[in-house]
Amino acid sequence: MNSFITLFQAAVAFGTVILFGCVGEILTERAGNLNLGVPGIMYLGGIASLASVFIYEGSTDSPSGIVCVIIAMVSAFIASALGGLIYAFLTITLKANQNVCGLTLTIFGGGVANFFGGSLNTLAGRFESVSVPATSAAFRQTLPGISGAGIVGKLFFSYGFMVYFAIAVAVIVHVFLHHTRRGLNLRTVGESPQTADAAGINVDKNKYLAICIGAGISGFGGVYYVMDYIKGTWANDGSIEKLGWLAVALVIFTTWKASHAIWGSYLFGLLYWMYYYIPGLTRRSQELFKMLPYAVTLLVLIVNSMKSSRDKQPPHSLGLAYFREER
Amino acid sequence: MNEPILRVIKRESMSFKGKLLVRAVSLILALLVCGIVITLITGYNPITVYVTMAQGAFGTKTRAWSTIKEMLMLSCIAIGLAPAFKMKFWNVGAEGQILIGGIVSAGCMIYLSNIGNAGLFVLMCILSALAGSLWAFLPALFKAKFNTNETLFTLMMNYVAIQLTSYFVAKWENPVGSNTVGVINQSGHEGWFPKIFGTQYFISLIMVIILAVFMHIYLRYTKHGYEIAVVGESENTARYAGISVPKVVIRTVLLSGAICGVAGFMAVAGASHTISTSTAGGRGFTAIIVAWLAKFDSATMLLISLLLAFLNSGSSEIASKCHLNDYASKIVIGIILFFILGSEFFINYKLVRGKKGEKK
């Protein structure tokens, strides 16, 4: 039972990182833009939050937890949304190829983050890595009393606020996309920008907003990873990039539905960490086990394309630039 | 509706001179911005920065060859990706195809070191090409049969390949417990590219030149190349013309995967003599951008690869001089690519003052 609880907790923590990334990307892809810059955006979010609170914590003797959290979240959102804005400008206004721009954003974001992350580590001292204890503590603060109480408490209430925030964001995005007029407009832009344009929907504005806000949400995944998952430190080990690609995979797995992303992300976490709890695995076979999330995604992708049921397909104009005069 | 001040119009075509001018301007702008960024971080003046970069990339013979090695890897992968992209098949799985080719090469070096160097060399080349093809075959098959999204499929295959690499690294680790494979065949150099003119990269150079010429001819002057172009322009047109789209898709992607597999062979047998999850090192992604920017032209791909390799080693040099870390090069490359990507707009479109009834 105990190992199940730790597995569950590990899965939720892992899942929360990619849940943010995935929900942001769902919003983006629903607008018809395949943004392969998610890893880069998560990098930008992570480093922006870390650098800004590092400065704040260094400037005051008694950093306040709430201020730390606000600074981290706001700076991460701005940095990630700016990353999204570069991508949006290139793909919408300049009509450049989406795949290529996204990949460039991943290279750029990873470069910026690891460059400054590494430099922060150097600043922090030769053998130490950067750390922001006050902020990390604020992010990891659980509900007092209830979190340690019994199995239910441990399973559902033993996490920092970002875990619940991620679920809330996913629900909001789901409601927005499927139960509001603006959400319908946005989905129309992703399915058929020509139709949307003819119906008087401003295609470019919708795309810009979806991409920038989507990027901001994805960036929170980086914040959660840096502040909670690795406890307010930085490591140049490329793990954010891996998680970013998993978030892209999760979008496919959920068939572009934010509501499915909630359980899907935890399932990915479960699949990812399962090797740790299966007895008798050698280090070699563990590596094979870590394929599971990707293999499952591939399976879902294949099965859905074979069934060709309409609500499980990618947005119809995903990946295509829209130019009004070209039909 | 009120007229916008500026309107975007698609260009018919742009003269070669015009294209060259747009690209040159974007490159100069990009280098300026990078210069400013580096100056802000390091405090050097921009000219010193670029002189230092040039020294870092080409200052000594060893450095020059290591820059050329990087360029060769990138162009080899880009050449492999070109036919698939021209067909509008988004093979973002080069990273995985390289790794699979690398695993097979490393495996040959480990298990077949006694069959003689010439035989081993040929065998490694063929097997790694086959392995790369195989890795690309699955996405191609499902694309052809069920129109499964190939961008997402090949992307996932990368991660399956990375885990497979980790598996083999754990299997072949040397010394035990290090979790690295170490240099394979350190003593006998079995399976290593032999040194010619004092460098082991000479063979890679020849291989890439052959591949570049082959791809140029294949895409421009063969029936296959023509079919690729037609399928890329419009699948419907291809069908009307009696071209079997699934056949062309699968054939082309097999070729694409094979060349990426050979790139893995080059990386393992011709450069690092080991295998790790960083053998591909993101080059599979960077090469996508190379192939796209070059519009699949072999010579242009070589040039862009050279530029990126130069930036890579040059920025590393600056980083080490200023005690900064290596990731500076990724920032510089990112900025330059953003500029070049953005400049494509001015080649394909033009801005005109909005006048009614001027041109539809």
How does pLDDT run across A197-242, given as a tens digit for each residue? Answer: 999 999 999 999 999 999 999 999 999 999 988 888 888 777 898 8
User: What percent of chain A shows pLDDT beyond 90?
Assistant: 45
Of B27, B288, B302, B23, the C-alpha closest to A104 is B288
* Residues of chain A neighbouring B167 (CB-CB closer than 8 A): 284-285, 287-288
Cβ–Cβ under 8 Å, residues A182 and A8 = no
Higher pLDDT, B178 or A298: A298
Read off the pLDDT of each residue in B180-205 and give the average, rounded to a whole number.
Answer: 81
Distance linking the first and last C-alpha atoms of chain A: 60
Q: What is the CATH number of domain A2-312?
A: 1.10.3470
Contact B166 A122 (CB under 8 A): no
Of B156, B157, B151, the C-alpha closest to B84 is B151
Greatest CA separation found in chain B? 78
| Closest CA–CA distance from residue A219 to any residue of chain B (Å) | 18
For residue A20, what pLDDT is reported?
96
B44 membership: H or E segment, kind and range? none
- Mutating which of A34, A41, A115, A121 best tests the B interface, going by the most B Cβ atoms within 10 A? A115
B334–A contact, CB cutoff 8 A: yes
Contact A36 B286 (CB under 8 A): no
For residue A225, what pLDDT is reported?
93
d(CA B46, CA B306): 21
**pLDDT > 50? residue A33:** yes
Neighbour tally for B232: CB within 10 Å? 19
**pLDDT > 90? residue B217:** yes
Question: DSSP for A16-40?
Answer: HHHHHHHHHHHHHHHTT---TTHHH
Nearest to A100 among B282, B292, B323 (CB): B292
**pLDDT > 90? residue A99:** no
- Domains of chain B and CATH, by start: 45-321 (1.10.3470)
Lowest mean pLDDT among B51-55, B192-196, B302-306: B192-196
β partners of residue B353? B6
Dihedral sign for Cα atoms in the order B232, B236, B239, B241: negative
**pLDDT > 60? residue B357:** no
For residue B360, what pLDDT is reported?
40
Lowest mean pLDDT among A17-21, A112-116, A280-284, B238-242: A280-284
Give residue for tokens 């598996």.
B167
Neighbour tally for A75: CB within 10 Å? 22
Of A289, A234, A250, A16, the C-alpha closest to A140 is A16
Grade residue A287 by pLDDT with cuts at 50, 70 and 90: confident
Q: Residue B147 in 3-state DSSP?
A: coil
A97–B contact, CB cutoff 8 A: yes
Read off the pLDDT of each residue in A66-84 and give the average, rounded to a whole number.
Answer: 94
Alpha helices in A193-255 (DSSP H): 193-198, 203-224, 239-253
Higher pLDDT, B345 or B324: B345
Grade residue B359 by pLDDT with cuts at 50, 70 and 90: very low
**pLDDT > 50? residue A137:** yes
Q: Is B231 left (phi over 0), alpha (psi -120 to 50) or beta?
A: alpha
Question: DSSP for A156-190?
Answer: HSSS-HHHHHHHHHHHHHHHHHHHSHHHHHHHHHH
Read off the pLDDT of each residue in B233-246 and give the average, rounded to a whole number.
Answer: 88
Domain edges within chain A: 2-312
Across chain B, mean pLDDT equals 86
Contact B327 A288 (CB under 8 A): no
Higher pLDDT, A129 or B21: B21
* Residues of chain B neighbouring A252 (CB-CB closer than 8 A): 149, 152
Read off the pLDDT of each residue in A135-143 and give the average, rounded to a whole number.
Answer: 81
| Closest CA–CA distance from residue A154 to any residue of chain B (Å) | 32
For residue B358, what pLDDT is reported?
47
A317–B contact, CB cutoff 8 A: no
Grade residue A147 by pLDDT with cuts at 50, 70 and 90: low
Of B179, B218, B353, B227, the C-alpha closest to B297 is B218
Residue A312 DSSP label? G
Mean pLDDT: which of A172-181, A304-313, B82-91 is highest? A172-181
Tokens found for residue A61:
């003797």
For residue A127, what pLDDT is reported?
60
**pLDDT > 80? residue B346:** yes
For residue B4, what pLDDT is reported?
65
* Residues of chain B neighbouring A319 (CB-CB closer than 8 A): 90, 151
**pLDDT > 60? residue A64:** yes
Across chain A, mean pLDDT equals 87
Q: Residue A297 in 3-state DSSP?
A: helix
Read off the pLDDT of each residue in A260-266 and give the average, rounded to a whole number.
Answer: 93
Contact B285 A106 (CB under 8 A): yes
